[in-house]
């Protein structure tokens, strides 16, 4: 297959000629066959993270009761984990170059497992938050390193299919998570929802020694410590401002101070990144149209939909009086819908291309999100199942298309940096999306009875739908004649 030229004329600084992957096939065996064990390993890591996130959402009301806080007050335990991921992910490319992908991935699995164990024995909310931060330290390298190794190992024309396969196992965790979380909370203890990660982590360590390639540089570049600290401080200050917005009364002066400091530090980082040869996040890659569109579009999309299923669990359990198990069952159709959509992504991209697919699909996701406002305590179960399944289908298409678009026009030498930037923006958006959704719910509940969860839920999903629809404007900036990578013919055999 000939090298893929950058679609944007300004991309020359970030994407010149695209060399063949390090694993280019010369033996007649596809790269997916030769790296089958690697696919299983990365899939296991995605499964562990997906299981953890979906299990926690289902158990939020029970955990809040056990820790003597309100359900919406549990957002700190959720956002602290996701924000830790976002802050530490930019360090993963340097760690891989310095220590090698096998060692970094193995240490990440161990730390994530230890954090899960500590979450399971936490007695207070601060203890749980601290353990979730430790989980985030381990989880920060799982997804970006996994993606990076797949980009290095899998031939380009098979990459979308390989990512879909790996993501499917992550979605299996999303299927089992709500069921397992609801069952454990209802019949045993919410603490077991964290402890189930421990045996998965043990299996992951064994698979890592056997199947993980050890990619590294002979001489790693210098780590951008100043840039890392600037980015981490700006992100933490933004989340602190969002947490303060949920206080009563609202400390507007402190919120404004945190916001201004975050913007100042962000501006300093932009200035700094242009003057360092190896920045922690290379903003020069934003000259590639597909990169900045994928990042900006993903940011707006996830701001709108990241908190949706936490809100739905609270709506069903607190607003409608459902049991944890029944509320967990209602999350399963969404995961099944997402899995179903994964098998359609190749065909959809070939037929529509990235621009048309993301434009239309974003609007559909926003419309489905707004449709949740029609639900109430008397809504039939079949309607909720149908709505969550349809929403899961189109959300799954959205995620996979956004996650693969960002790699489309960059050189293999930039794959590690692009993977880091994609994961960072993803988790930042998820963190602020969860915070935004819960803050909207809290604002709409002020001065009203506890039973008004239903009304607050309806108005919140309508507002989130508007934010999601705004992402379509970003995706419209893609070129009309974009040819997706999956449409490219396979390489000619020698």
Please check the confidence at residue 30 and state whether its pLDDT lies above 70.
no
Q: Which residue has the higher pLDDT, 219 or 86?
A: 86
Which stretch of 207-211, 359-363, 403-407, 477-481 has the lowest confidence by average pLDDT?
477-481
CA distances from residue 456 to 17, 77, 449 in whole angstroms, order as listed = 52, 22, 11
**Using 50, 70 and 90 to split pLDDT, how confident is the model at 476?**
confident
Residues contacting residue 118 through CB under 8 Å, at least 6 positions apart = 127, 130, 131, 134
In the predicted model, what is the mean pLDDT of residues 272-282?
A: 82
- pLDDT for the residue numbered 487: 36
pLDDT over 90, % of the chain: 12
Q: What is the distance, to the nearest Å, from the Cα of residue 387 to the centroid of all Cα atoms in its chain?
A: 22
- pLDDT for the residue numbered 114: 93
**Using 50, 70 and 90 to split pLDDT, how confident is the model at 249?**
low
- pLDDT for the residue numbered 439: 83
Residues contacting residue 366 through CB under 8 Å, at least 6 positions apart = 304, 465, 466, 468, 469, 472
Per the CB < 8 A criterion, the answer to whether 90 and 209 are in contact is no
State the Cα–Cα distance between residues 361 and 358, nearest whole angstrom. Answer: 5
Please check the confidence at residue 490 and state whether its pLDDT lies above 60.
no
Q: What string of DSSP letters covers 397-414?
A: HHHHHHHHHTTTTS-GGG
State the Cα–Cα distance between residues 39 and 33, nearest whole angstrom. Answer: 9
Residues contacting residue 131 through CB under 8 Å, at least 6 positions apart = 115, 118, 119, 122
Closest CA to 270 of 231, 308, 229: 231
**Using 50, 70 and 90 to split pLDDT, how confident is the model at 369?**
very high
Among left, alpha and beta (phi > 0; psi -120 to 50; other), residue 447 is left
**Using 50, 70 and 90 to split pLDDT, how confident is the model at 188?**
confident
Closest CA to 455 of 443, 468, 470: 443
- pLDDT for the residue numbered 221: 67
Please check the confidence at residue 118 and state whether its pLDDT lies above 90.
yes
- pLDDT for the residue numbered 290: 82
Claim: this prediction has a pTM higher than 0.75: no
């Amino acid at each position: 297959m000939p090298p893929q030229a950058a679609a944007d004329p300004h991309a020359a600084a970030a994407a010149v000629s695209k060399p063949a992957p390090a694993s280019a096939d010369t033996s007649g065996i596809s790269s997916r066959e030769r790296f089958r064990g690697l696919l299983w390993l990365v899939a296991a890591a995605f499964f562990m993270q997906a299981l953890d996130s979906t299990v926690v959402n289902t158990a939020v009301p029970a955990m809040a009761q056990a820790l003597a806080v309100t359900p919406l007050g549990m957002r700190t335990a959720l956002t602290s984990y996701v924000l830790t991921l976002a802050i530490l992910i930019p360090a993963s490319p340097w760690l891989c170059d310095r220590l090698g992908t096998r060692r970094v991935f193995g240490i990440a699995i161990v730390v994530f497992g230890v954090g899960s164990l500590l979450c399971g024995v936490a007695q207070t909310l601060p203890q749980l938050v601290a353990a979730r931060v430790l989980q985030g330290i381990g989880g920060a390298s799982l997804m970006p390193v996994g993606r990076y190794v797949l980009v290095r190992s899998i031939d380009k024309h098979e990459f979308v299919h390989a990512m879909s396969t790996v993501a499917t196992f992550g979605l299996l965790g999303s299927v089992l998570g709500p069921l397992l979380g609801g069952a454990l909370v209802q019949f045993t203890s919410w603490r077991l929802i964290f402890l189930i990660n421990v045996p998965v982590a043990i299996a992951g360590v064994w698979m890592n020694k056997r199947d993980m390639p050890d990619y590294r540089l002979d001489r790693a570049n210098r780590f951008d410590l100043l840039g890392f600290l600037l980015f981490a401080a700006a992100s933490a200050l933004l989340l602190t401002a969002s947490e303060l917005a949920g206080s009563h009364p609202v400390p507007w002066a402190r919120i404004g101070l945190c916001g201004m400091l975050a913007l100042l530090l962000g501006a300093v980082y932009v200035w700094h990144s242009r003057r360092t040869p190896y920045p922690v996040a290379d903003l020069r890659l934003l000259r590639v149209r597909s990169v900045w569109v994928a990042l900006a579009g993903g940011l707006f999309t996830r701001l709108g939909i990241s908190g949706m299923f936490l809100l739905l669990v609270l709506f069903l359990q607190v607003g409608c009086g459902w049991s944890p198990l029944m509320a967990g069952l209602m999350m399963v159709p969404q995961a099944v819908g997402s899995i179903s959509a994964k098998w359609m992504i190749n065909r959809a991209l070939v037929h529509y291309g990235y621009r048309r697919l993301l434009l239309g699909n974003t609007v559909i996701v926003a419309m489905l999100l707004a449709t949740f406002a029609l639900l109430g305590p008397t809504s039939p179960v079949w309607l909720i199942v149908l709505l969550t399944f349809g929403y899961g289908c189109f959300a799954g298409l959205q995620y996979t298309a956004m996650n693969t678009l960002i790699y489309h026009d960059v050189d293999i030498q930039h794959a590690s940096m692009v993977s880091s930037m994609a994961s960072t923006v993803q988790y930042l958006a998820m963190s602020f999306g969860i915070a935004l959704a819960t803050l909207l719910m809290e604002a709409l509940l002020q001065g009203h009875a506890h039973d008004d969860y239903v009304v607050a839920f309806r108005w919140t999903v309508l507002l989130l739908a508007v934010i999601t629809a705004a992402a379509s404007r970003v995706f419209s900036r893609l070129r009309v004649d974009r040819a997706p990578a999956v449409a490219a013919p396979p390489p000619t055999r020698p």
